[in-house]
Amino acid sequence: MENIGVHHVKAAEVHNKSVLAFDIVQIIEAEANFYVNYTVLSNKPVNIDQSKLSSLDIEIVEFNIQNASLPDEYHLIVADDIQFDCTLLGKISAALAPRGFVLLVENTDAISTSTLTSFNLQMVTVIENDNKKYFLLKKLSPKYEYSIFNIEDEQFSWVESLKKELADIKGNTNKKVVVYSDKNINGVLGLSKCLVEEFGGEENPIRCILAEPGKKYTLKDFATLLEIDLFFNVERYGIWGSYRHLPIDARLASIVQTADAQVSVLSKGDLTTLQWVQSSK
């Protein structure tokens, strides 16, 4: 969600065998201020709990992707066991929003980069679990021009230059600003998240890169990374990924005695999770 650029996510699942809707909706909406309009598209009966559908606002629509094109534009399209069918991939790609993602659940090996490129798609990552492979694809982004700001000066000498650059490129969707740091703790992720929220939208100018210390990267070193075009890029143990917020399990939270506390909900919109939380004063 952090890399789409919108808070109201439009998603569709092309139903074949299993249904991933419940897990995906709960994952997205566990993040504060993110909501999803999720539709399961199927040309056959879907054997799932109707009460769960209602509680999560998941809609089932009769639809045969073999005979018709998908309505556009989706931020996320999920498909299970389509075996990289070229006709289906073409229809899925055509229905994506500019920064749209595709999640394919397959039992087969990876598809070639050239084939994906022919459908205006690129591979973001592959994860294997329970004898299945989860392929996360993304719609190809245009070629952008970049300026990079190294956020490591604790005197904040970069602030005015960054403000000027963002003002200068306002309205120019071809130019992006890379906010970069190779310091473990300096707030570059928080700064970038605030900037992404401030500018909003799928044409957001901000690209955040948090590298491991001591690598001495240059902008050229990030060419492959920037081609994937995620808003947030984080390096850990030599591996590049992104980031997302994870909810804290209340059962694991420590209990302390304090004279300074405030009431808060642990789950957005769920008053049954009201708890006393230690205040920062």
- What DSSP line would sit under 76-137, residue for residue? EEEEES-TT-HHHHHHHHHTEEEEEEEEEEESSPPPPHHHHHHTTEEEEEEEEETTEEEEEE
The pTM for the full model equals 0.84
What percentage of the chain exceeds 70 in pLDDT?
93
Q: What is the pLDDT of residue 33?
A: 82
| pLDDT over threshold 80, residue 164 | yes
Fold of 8-139: Rossmann fold (3.40.50)
pLDDT band at 136 (very low <50, low <70, confident <90, very high): very high
Cβ of 165: how many Cβ atoms within 10 Å?
Answer: 17
Assess whether pLDDT exceeds 90 at residue 272: no
Q: Write out the H or E segment, with its range, that includes residue 50.
A: helix 50-55
What does the mean pLDDT of the chain come to?
88
Q: Which two tokens stand for residue 214?
A: 């001591």
Q: What is the pLDDT of residue 56?
A: 85
Integer Cα distance of 20 and 149 in angstroms? 40
Read off the pLDDT band of 244 (50, 70, 90): confident
Query: What are the extents of the domains in the chain?
Result: 8-139, 145-241, 248-281
Phi, psi of 244 (to 5 degrees): -155, 160
Residue 200's nearest CA partner among 6, 24, 46 is 6
Over residues 148-159, the mean pLDDT reads 85
Per-residue pLDDT at 268: 65
pLDDT at 264 over 90: no
